[in-house]
Amino acid sequence: MIELLGRKFLQKLPAETAHDLSIKMLNSPLSNLVKFKAINNPITLFGVAFKNPVGLAAGYDKNADAISGLSQLGFGFIEVGTVTPKGQSGNPKPRLFRLPNNQAIINRMGFNNKGVKHLVKRLEKYRPNTIIGINIGKNKVTPNEKAADDYLYCFNKVHHLADYVTINISSPNTQDLRQLQETENLENLLKTLKDLQIELQTNTNKYTPIVVKIAPDQSDEATIEIAKTIKNSGMDGIICTNTTIEKNNLKKESHQSETGGLSGKPLLSRSNEIIKTVRKAVGTDFPIIGVGGILTDDDAMSKISSGANLVQIYTGLIYKGPTLIRNINRKLLSGK
């Protein structure tokens, strides 16, 4: 009841105001009012033992400011970020819009975050007993030809704290970022990251898996090329998918024409198609994390049926609350 009342209150506020307030609440004693025991449904992927397959997608807690409260909601893993080398304010406000009739959100946040050093300090101060992924990106002012420097800097800073690191080259809200998915750019970026990953493993005796988050908007042919490049570069997994710029067939409502990435229910089908395409391209054993459009436990099952090993939620958490985590895990346990 407390969780429901809190969610109803937040949904009456402007979207970004509600988000910022929820982060503050989760980083306060109020977080103790909403706790869900994590359901035990273990799975091991890229050498990491997950308590259950349901995670929080990147974008909600960019700075690891709410990690203590989030770790009490029953997630099997939490992905923080996207974080960049230097803090940046992101795109001008307003930049976050609810589409309740579509069970969707449009955002054009633009990697707003406090910088990787802040995130590191947060996790060094409090590192929950939960699998933590750290999502990294490049600063807006960094040209693509220098992008590798930003990713290398962030990976070097976070690898000792991360159970895995996600390379975000697919957000639609940083100009030209998706050009890094093009084959030559992608090969060059991932080679430098693989070299650093191995170097740090040698020096620290800790191997930190790297996964790459891809977009849903390219052709199937391009998706296959991207997936094969990621696998052949020695990466450890793929996250399918980021938000979409495609906004056809939305129910009419305020904000539906806003620019930015669309998440939520309208993304489900396309995200699942990408998962199926990637699964065929990389084979049965390569790890895939499915994200995009999960509003129900059946939606999560559709991700698994499409070929995902793990799932992540974000927009579903906004509309359905943390009970969605429990419901998905129960569904996955039953297998029905």
Active site residues: 171
Alpha carbon distance 119, 113 (integer Å):
9
DSSP H stretches of helix in the chain: 2-10, 15-26, 67-70, 116-125, 147-158, 183-204, 220-232, 268-282, 297-306, 315-320, 323-334
Measured CA to CA in angstroms, residue 328 lies from 146, 180, 192, 316, 321 at distances of 41, 33, 37, 11, 12
Is the dihedral angle over the CA atoms 14, 172, 169, 92 positive or is it negative?
negative
SS3 63: coil
Helix (H) or strand (E) holding 167: strand 164-168
302: buried, middle or exposed (CB in 10 Å: 19+, 13-18, 0-12)?
Answer: buried
Measured CA to CA in angstroms, residue 77 lies from 26, 282, 313 at distances of 16, 24, 11
Q: Which of 282, 59, 315 is nearest to 170 (CA)?
A: 59
Taking residue 254's Cβ as centre, other Cβ atoms within 10 Å add up to 11
